[in-house]
Amino acid sequence: MTVHNLYIFDRNGNCLYYNEWNRKKQAGISKEEEYKLMYGMLFSIRSFVSKMSPLDMKEGFLSFQTSKYRLHYYETPSGLKFVMNTDLSVTNARDTLQHIYSNLYVEYIVKNPVCVLGHSLDSELFSSRLDAFIRALPFYSPRAA
Amino acid sequence: MWSTACLFHHDGMIAFQPTSMRNSELFTLTYGALVTQLCKDYENDEEVNKQLDKMGYNIGVRLIEDFLARSSIGRCQDFRETADVIAKVAFKMYLGITPSVTNWSPAGDEFSLILENNPLVDFVELPDNHSTLIYSNLLCGVLRGALEMVQMAVDVRFVQDTLRGDNVTEIRMKFIKRIEENLPAGDE
């Protein structure tokens, strides 16, 4: 059980925030390139999912998994995208991502007039609260496995 | 100055009945002081209207996040749903009122919000030399800014105002276009 890393993108594809907790393998490209790659993939998946769906969807894309990790996706109607990678034992992290949006992002970024929206978040308060929140999650336990 | 007088008058009211002070009055009074100050700073009502709209816009782009986080309302399917959410949820949540939604255009891209009682104008009386001031123009900016964040470009304006002698206060909302999401430039 573990949380690997977390990305927050704004609706224009800027990576507002990134942090990692238990990431053993790096992408081998610069972080900027990685954010673009990640956003591009998410953008494509969203459009793929909405075109391929045989029914009208409410939520759209929710998550995908590979043999080793699961990517959880939450998008607000205002276009903010919260992306969290965990191991496979975490089946649903939707409430967690929603909580990060409404109780951390809105409280410490949106309600802080000094934080310019649409730029990378440099609020220490936000970072430390988020870090504390992630570390307190029931499925956060980076065992050296 | 006119609203300074109003404010003082209201200060008196508060002192008179200290227990009836509601939170919304703090906002109403602060807003009154803001408009008063802008009128001093700009002299020209048009410019005051513009500044109020601009400030409202900046509030709106942040307020939408608070609104979405607190209401957990998803994306609206059409403009009618948007109208309902604005009138029944958003106005209720922030101003404690529920405007009625009327005067739909046949195409469904325009409607009016009728405000029976606009809390922003409690204790306000417009003097004659401010006939073109749109006192509550901040609201237009808020609505425009908030909707822009959910991909809707909307034109918002006051067409009737009780402060200017109309029977009701009416905000006209006109849907202009959907703001499309694009991949950021430079990505392939």
pLDDT at B40 over 50: yes
Q: How large is the ipTM?
A: 0.87
Global confidence as pTM: 0.85
**Residue B18: is its pLDDT beyond 50?**
no
Average pLDDT, chain A: 90
Chain B within 8 Å of A44 (Cβ-Cβ)? Answer: no
The span from the CA of A4 to the CA of A22, in Å, is 5
pLDDT at B4 over 50: no
Q: What is the mean pLDDT of residues B118-140?
A: 86
Q: Is B172 exposed, middle or buried (0-12, 13-18, 19+ CB in 10 A)?
A: middle
Residue A144, domain member (yes or no)? no
Tell me: pLDDT of B145 over 80.
Answer: yes
Nearest Cα neighbor of A79 from B151, B83, B155 is B151
Domain extent for A132:
3-136
In the numeric block, which tokens belong to residue A75?
């998008």
The whole-number average pLDDT for the span B116-129 is 82
Which of A17-26, B136-145, B147-156 has the weakest average pLDDT?
A: A17-26
- Tell me what the pLDDT averaged over chain B comes to: 85
pLDDT at position B186, please?
Answer: 54
- Write down the pLDDT at residue B25: 85
Is residue A145 domain-resident? Answer: no
Name beta bridge partners: B175.
B154
Distance CA B61, CA B148 (A): 8
Q: Which residue of A has its CA nearest to B145?
A: A78
The pLDDT tens digits of the residues spanning A41-62 come to 999 999 999 999 999 888 889 9
Interface with chain A: mutation pick from B55, B59, B62, B179, highest number of A CBs within 10 Å: B62
Q: Is the pLDDT of residue A95 over 80?
A: yes
HEC letters along B32-85: HHHHHHHHHHHCCHHHHHHHHHHHHHHHHHHHHHHHHHHHCCCCCCCHHHHHHH
The answer to whether A106 contacts chain B (CB < 8 Å) is yes
Identify the band that residue B17 occupies on the pLDDT scale cut at 50, 70 and 90. very low
Q: What is the pLDDT of residue A19?
A: 93
Percentage of residues of chain A with pLDDT beyond 70: 97
CA of B14 vs chain A CAs: smallest distance (Å)? 29
> Contact B50/B41 with Cβ under 8 angstroms?
no
Of A11, A14, A106, the CB nearest to B181: A11
CB contact under 8 A, A79 and B181: yes
Minimal CA separation from A86 to chain B, in Å: 24
Q: Say what the pLDDT of residue A36 is.
A: 94
Q: What is the structure's pLDDT at A101?
A: 95
Pick from A13, A43, A101: which is nearest to B69 by CB? A101
Q: Does residue B20 have a pLDDT over 60?
A: no
- Are the beta carbons of A106 and B69 separated by less than 8 Å? yes
Does residue A65 belong to the interface with chain B, where contact is any CB pair within 8 Å?
no
Pick the CATH number of B4-178 from 3.40.630.30, 3.20.20.10, 3.30.1380.20, 3.30.470.10: 3.30.1380.20
Cβ contact (<8 Å) for A117 and B62? Answer: yes
pLDDT of residue B55: 96
pLDDT per residue over B53-86, tens digit each? 999 999 999 999 999 999 988 888 899 999 999 9
State the CATH number of the domain containing residue A83. 3.30.450.70
- For residue B140, which of B66, B70, B57 has the smallest C-alpha distance? B57
Q: Considering only the beta carbons, identify the residue of B65, B72, B184 that sits closest to A78.
A: B65
Q: Which residues contact B135 (CB under 8 A, 6 or more apart)?
A: B35, B120, B121, B124, B126, B161, B163
Mean pLDDT of B17-42: 80
**pLDDT value of position A142:** 65
When pLDDT is cut at 50, 70 and 90, the band that residue B118 belongs to is: confident
Give me the pLDDT at residue B14, please.
41
Q: How many residues does chain A have?
A: 145
Please name the member of B70, B149, B184 whose beta carbon is closest to the beta carbon of A78. Answer: B149
- Average pLDDT, integer, range A61-75: 95
Q: CB A110 to CB B62 under 8 A?
A: yes
In sequence order, what are the beta bridge partners of B100? B114
Rounded mean pLDDT of B159-165?
89
Of A73-87, A115-129, B137-151, the range with the lowest mean pLDDT is A115-129
For residue A72, pLDDT beyond 50: yes
- Check: CB of residue B158 under 8 Å from CB of residue B53: no
Asked if residue A143 is part of any domain, the answer here is no
Backbone dihedral region for residue B187 (phi beyond 0: left; psi -120 to 50: alpha; all else: beta): beta
Site from A9, A78, A101 to mutate, B interface, most B CB atoms within 10 angstroms: A78
Report pLDDT for B72: 80
Number of domains making up chain A: 1
Instruction: Name every chain A residue with its beta carbon within 8 A of the beta carbon of B62.
Output: 110-111, 117
Share of residues in chain A with pLDDT > 90 (%): 71
